[in-house]
A and B are shown apart, each in its own frame.
Chain A
Amino acid sequence: GAGVSQSPRYKVAKRGQDVALRCDPISGHVSLFWYQQALGQGPEFLTYFQNEAQLDKSGLPSDRFFAERPEGSVSTLKIQRTQQEDSAVYLCASSLAGLAAEQFFGPGTRLTVL
């Protein structure tokens, strides 16, 4: 079956622009996660949804970062007034419910802020 998909795969933005990154999770997965992966580093947690509810947003680095999942399926991560330090790969993952459930990752969106 189809895995997690993300779009766009690559995004170049000028500093100060707003960007929106999309994640299509695996059908039926109630949990959805966003991670940020800087060059040469492991992924860092940003935020977590269970269905449409955002249960944990403690990893969002600033109030310029905003995520939503209005119908409990597709999610969008929005970054306002992008800065160079926002350049990273943004990974989306989805899973069934349960703490031991495997998180399935998408290919990521590589954001470069000039």
Chain B
Amino acid sequence: AQSVTQLGSHVSVSEGALVLLRCNYSSSVPPYLFWYVQYPNQGLQLLLKYTSAATLVKGINGFEAEFKKSETSFHLTKPSAHMSDAAEYFCAVRAYGNNRLAFGKGNQVVVIP
């Protein structure tokens, strides 16, 4: 079964600094990969997704992620953190032929002014 690993539940980043959230997946076949953001008391919002097209995926709010098959990784980055980026971020995988999403435990991002 597919699974996702996100290390470091809380991530602190200074305003204007690089945001890097790591995601590693395990899947027996090439997967679909997603990053979602969750603001307090709201549902999850899709940031970006990888569906076997370009390995570098650009999403909303200046985020991007790179699919690296050799490393089974799909790390999320943003060059310059903004206060509005404070939220919880989830990586998710959807194996080919399977409809369900399997989520990581999430990263709570705190932006320090």
Contact = CB atoms under 8 A, between A and B. Distances in A.
A31 B101 CA distance: 13
Contact of B101 (A40, A103, A107, A108): A103
Contacts of B9: 40
Interface stretch (A13-21, A43-51, A66-74, A78-86): A43-51
Contacts of A91: 43-44
| A: contact size bracket | 20 to 34
B103 A43 contact: yes
Interface of A: 3-4, 31, 33, 35, 40-45, 48, 55-56, 59, 91, 93, 99-100, 102-108
30 contacts: A4-B43, A31-B99, A33-B101, A35-B103, A40-B9, A40-B105, A41-B106, A42-B4, A42-B6, A42-B92, A42-B105, A43-B44, A45-B100, A45-B101, A48-B99, A55-B99, A56-B99, A56-B100, A59-B100, A93-B43, A99-B32, A99-B94, A99-B98, A100-B32, A102-B49, A103-B46, A104-B46, A105-B36, A105-B44, A107-B43
Interface of B: 4, 6, 9, 32, 36, 41-46, 49, 51, 90, 92, 94, 96-106
Given A59-B100, A93-B43, A100-B49, 5 more contacts: A33-B101, A42-B104, A44-B103, A100-B32, A105-B45
